[in-house]
Amino acid sequence: MASSYINNLRLNEMGTGDASGTWGTTTNLNLELIGEALAFGTEAITTNADTHTTTVADGATDAGRAIFLKYTGTLDSACTITIGPDTIKRVQYVHNGTSGSQNILIKQGSGGGASVTIPAGTTKLVSLDGGGSGAIVTDVLAGGMNSGGLTYPSSDGSTGQFLKTDGSGTLSFATVDTQTFASGTKMLFQQTAAPTNWTKVTSGVDDRALRVVTGTVGTGGSVAMSTALGTPAVSMGSVTGNPGTNQTVGAGNLAVSMSGNISNTTLSTSQIPSHSHPLIFIAGSNVVQQGFTTNINTEQVQNNVSTANTGGGGSHNHGHNLSGSMSGNPSISGNVTAGNLAVGSSTATINCQYTDVIIATRD
């Protein structure tokens, strides 16, 4: 009976009577290949190849037999790798160690069986079902690995992340929260973009002033802040109309008390009214009597003669020491009746300096 290699590691299964005298050598080689299957292997892909085939050799050393297989080489596009023979059944860690940032696709068989995509720099545990031309390759850890009652993520997290549990056995990657603010907290920031782990609020907050309250917060007003505090100007509207009034002052005990006196004042010539005095001239004796009308023996009397005007009619003051007081409480009643009093529109704006801020919500 001839030797066969139908097992999943492609070891030499010797038939009865085979390898006479070399049985020990064949057995030792099989043991070495088993060790190889438990080890690390590396296989290079032709530069920029779109396809590649890995066939585990029958009874001979082969990197494709290793439980951890790393593919190397340089790629400029995704490369489909077919692992054969398509009848072997096994699980294998496959690492995409190629350069060029391209994916490798692991499949088995020549048909259209499912394949597993491995991005550059990552490792996946795949299973080969050995189904012939339609063999299927499965990502064993897709959907997360379950061990010890814990379900692990199916892919790696980001730099600096850690594993956290939801309390029900499911683990996931999370970012270390260096902030002490609870999710949903809103704060002001004097910068254009929100900080990391914060989301900028853009609805209903633009061009508004801030008001400090001690009760429930809210919003209000209808004029944008830049409009309300624009170019400095004050324009007062006109007041028109004629509202009436029926107010009356009622009787009361209002009293006025005065005391003191007004001082005498001697008027100067400039302060007395302008005036003249009548004169009578008597000729002959050269005697002039002022203010008399008695006849005097003379040959000539001249009447209707006056002195020149004198006096300026100026004002004057009187000193006083008057003092007094007013007391009482007369009542005022009535109201201003309706009328068409109207005040024209007025504006007052202030062009104040300001600093822009944003509102952001903690994620």
pLDDT digits (tens, 9 = 90+) for 192-209: 999 888 899 888 888 888
Local confidence band at 277 (pLDDT 50, 70, 90 cut-offs): confident
Lowest mean pLDDT among 48-52, 175-179, 290-294: 290-294
pLDDT (0 to 100) of residue 298: 46
The reply to whether 121 falls in a domain is yes
State mean pLDDT over 77-89: 95
Q: What percent of the chain has pLDDT over 90?
A: 33
Lowest mean pLDDT among 104-118, 155-169, 215-229, 336-350: 336-350
pLDDT (0 to 100) of residue 239: 64
Local confidence band at 245 (pLDDT 50, 70, 90 cut-offs): low
pLDDT (0 to 100) of residue 363: 76
The reply to whether 126 falls in a domain is yes
Higher pLDDT, 14 or 310: 14
> Exposed (0-12), middle (13-18) or buried (19+): which is 13, by Cβ within 10 Å?
middle
Round to whole Å and give the CA distance between 315 and 319. Answer: 14
The reply to whether 306 falls in a domain is no
The reply to whether 208 falls in a domain is no
The reply to whether 96 falls in a domain is yes
The reply to whether 153 falls in a domain is no
pLDDT (0 to 100) of residue 247: 65
Contact 232, 352 (CB under 8 A): no
Q: Is 251 a residue whose pLDDT tops 50?
A: yes
CB atoms within 10 A of CB 296: 12
The reply to whether 311 falls in a domain is no
Q: Which domain holds residue 57?
A: 23-139
Q: Is 235 a residue whose pLDDT tops 80?
A: no
Number of domains in the chain: 1
Lowest mean pLDDT among 23-32, 204-213, 320-329: 320-329
pTM: predicted TM-score of the whole model, two decimal places: 0.45
Local confidence band at 233 (pLDDT 50, 70, 90 cut-offs): low
Q: Is 305 a residue whose pLDDT tops 70?
A: no
**Torsion sign over Cα 53, 59, 60, 63:** positive
Q: Is 90 a residue whose pLDDT tops 80?
A: yes
pLDDT (0 to 100) of residue 319: 78
Local confidence band at 292 (pLDDT 50, 70, 90 cut-offs): very low
Half-sphere exposure of 19 (CA within 13 A, CB side): 15
Higher pLDDT, 230 or 71: 71
The reply to whether 31 falls in a domain is yes
- Highest mean pLDDT out of 67-81, 134-148, 296-310, 316-330: 67-81
Local confidence band at 137 (pLDDT 50, 70, 90 cut-offs): very high
State mean pLDDT over 53-76: 95
Measured CA to CA in angstroms, residue 114 lies from 56, 63, 78, 202 at distances of: 20, 23, 16, 46
Question: Of all helices (H) and strands (E), which one includes residue 23?
Answer: helix 23-37
pLDDT (0 to 100) of residue 346: 62
Q: What percent of the chain has pLDDT over 70?
A: 76
Residue 46 tokens read as 């032709």
128 contacts: CB under 8 Å, gap ≥ 6: 83, 88, 89, 90, 91, 92, 108, 135, 137
